[in-house]
Amino acid sequence: MKVASVKPIGKRPVYDLSVEEVEHYVLENGVVTHNTGIMYSSDNVWIIGRQQDKDGTDLKGYHFIINVEKSRFVKEKSKIPISVSWDGGIERFSGLLDIALLSGHVTKPSQGWYCRVDTETGEEIQPKVRAKDTLKKEFWDPILSDTGFQEFVKTHYMVGHRSMIDQDDLPEELRNDDVGETTA
């Protein structure tokens, strides 16, 4: 079947129809429709996958990947890695290494080794460390306090990370001098 022509008819109400156990069906007038269901009505759809984290044959936890299929807050198709171990719970710094590599705050000078980077000079900050040694507060404190890294994370993951209305466009009585304060 081919579309012969398209004729504008103006604005009309649209209805989301779902039929149990049927992917698509034909309406009375010959129009084929498709179930939209929960995906259209959801604000967020995140699919979680997992891999076992083993030490030899012993299971010590899981590595989860959160795949953002739909969201009003996080960019779709984002992948968020999280590691959880039986003895330590959620790994505090899990997932950050991949983000820091993307942002240029960390480099991989050789297979299995990582270095922090001075973002002003581009030089590697020694010593080189293994991936397991990047899971320490001392490694992450300088990176997490860097406003450039914070901004990178916002622009990489967040939807609408900037204000829709500039403060200069607001009437003076609605402008914020500081967060949480409004001038009168």
Concatenating the DSSP letter of every residue in 24-76 gives EEE-TTS-EEE--HHHHH-S-EEEEEEEEEEETTEEEEEEEEEEEEE-SSB-T
Give strand pairing partners of 25.
33
pLDDT of residue 54: 93
27 in a structural domain = no
Q: What percent of the chain has pLDDT over 90?
A: 47
What is the per-residue pLDDT for 109? 93
Does residue 102 fall inside a structural domain?
Answer: yes
User: How large is the average pLDDT for residues 121-139?
Assistant: 92
3 state DSSP class of 133: helix
In a domain, 47, yes or no: no
- Residue 144 structural domain: 93-163
Q: Whole-prediction pTM value? A: 0.61
Containing 178, the helix (H) or strand (E) segment is none
Domain assignment of residue 155, yes or no = yes
pLDDT digits (tens, 9 = 90+) for 21-59: 655 555 666 665 665 566 767 788 999 999 999 999 999
Nearest to 62 by CA among 53, 74, 75: 53
Number of structural domains (the chain) is 1
